[in-house]
Amino acid sequence: MTSRQAAIYGLSGLELTSDEIDYISKASPLGFILFSRNINNLEQVSKLVSHLKSFAQNGETLILIDQEGGRVARLRPPLVRDYPPAEVYGNIYNKNPEKALRAAYLGAVLMAKELLGVGINVDCTPCLDLSLPQTSDVIGNRAFSAFPEVVGALGRSVAQGFLHEGALPVIKHIPGHGHGAVDSHEALPIVEASLEVLVEDFAPFRQSNTLPLAMTGHLVFNAIDAENVSTQSSLLIEKIIRGHIGFDGLLMTDDISMKALSPDISITTHAQRALQAGCDVILHCNGEANEMFPLMEMLPKLTGKALDRAEKAMSFLKGNTSKISETLAEKEWRELISDHFPESPKNV
């Protein structure tokens, strides 16, 4: 893979502006992330993605999206199928684990096929956070369950579904957002739980520690590092994410423009601190030029272990040569979830 900037950027609209084209061609970032503001119809998305991929001189460009199902879905019917939130699979698991695991796997297979159809090759899912009484509503039904073993098993099934088709899943929000009582988009969650309690939050991520991509959460864990937000904590990244959890894949930040990170500090300083702490890639989502262009000018290229991890992640894009029939997968998936999630027409 040719040298790429250690960054993934959001974009301002349905097509690239002349300034975006100029900056992207110079920066050559690892990838881009799409949001609702970038989506009108499938033909337009496919055209935008092709344009983004054309900047890469050699090798793949990662094109990300948050397509979890439920309320977090940038592509919606009638463009794609209607998918349930993670909680639905957790509810099925409570009655029939085998059925739930198969349903989660097939749902991911179908979602991957739709995304790959327009050139999107990375989905920021599964959410491996626990659903606890104190968990912020920003997570809510995006979590599979309160039980680590259930979250871990279902998350692994979802990840395997994407990988089978040649799309990359992103486990999030490592090391766990379950004890975060506030929305990190708006404020900084301070977690007071003991390390003995937090081990439960870490458990689902340990079950998926061989997967290629993970996204941090912006929280402060007082039991680990009371001075630094997790994304900027070398202690937490080294001892918990790389150590206890054992994740050695490509580690990206959650959106570096979120309000959990102090607005009194520049976006470039936040990015520098995250890289110095051990994150491999900076994720910047809002598409605002006054933030994005300074980042494009200062962020480094991927080197060393970060480059190795990126190349390893890219290798998973090949998928399994034995693809699953979309028609058969959809039929079985709908039968498995029918009692918990009523059918919605595909209408693609």
Q: For position 322, which CATH number holds?
A: 3.20.20.300
Query: Residue 285's pLDDT is what?
Result: 97
Q: Cα(327)–Cα(320) distance, rounded to whole angstroms?
A: 18
In a domain, 7, yes or no: no
**Among residues 16, 49, 9, 15, which one has the least CA distance to residue 31?**
9
In a domain, 36, yes or no: no
In a domain, 173, yes or no: yes
Query: Residue 28's pLDDT is what?
Result: 95
Range of the domain at 264: 69-285+302-337
Query: Residue 346's pLDDT is what?
Result: 47
277, two tokens: 């702490």
254 is catalytic: yes
Determine the angle formed by the axes of helices 326-337 and 86-95, rounding to 10 degrees: 70
> 67: which residues sit within 8 A by CB, 6+ positions away?
73, 74, 75, 83, 111, 115, 120, 123, 124, 125
In a domain, 21, yes or no: no
**Inter-residue contact 195 to 223 (CB < 8 Å):** yes
Query: Residue 347's pLDDT is what?
Result: 38
Place of tokens 């991957």: 112
In a domain, 5, yes or no: no
201 is catalytic: no
The total number of structural domains in the chain stands at 1
Query: Residue 322's pLDDT is what?
Result: 84
Burial of 187 (0-12, 13-18, 19+ CB in 10 A): middle
Listing DSSP states for 33-46 in one string gives: EE-GGG-S-HHHHH
The total of other beta-carbon atoms located within 10 Å of residue 63's CB is 24
In a domain, 53, yes or no: no
Catalytic-role residue among 185, 248, 308, 340? 185
Residues in the chain: 348
| Bridge partners of residue 221, in order along the sequence | 191
In a domain, 29, yes or no: no
In a domain, 2, yes or no: no
Three-class SS of 160-201: HHHHHHCCEECEEEECCCCCCCCCCCCCCCEECCCHHHHHHH
Q: What is the pLDDT along the chain (348 residues), one digit of tens a residue?
A: 678 999 999 999 999 999 999 999 999 999 999 999 999 999 999 999 999 999 987 678 999 999 999 999 999 999 999 999 999 999 999 999 999 999 999 999 999 999 999 999 999 999 999 999 988 888 999 999 999 999 999 999 999 999 999 999 999 999 999 998 887 888 899 999 999 999 999 999 999 999 999 999 999 999 999 999 999 999 999 999 999 999 999 999 999 999 899 889 999 999 999 999 999 999 999 999 999 999 999 999 999 999 999 999 999 998 888 889 999 999 999 999 999 997 654 433
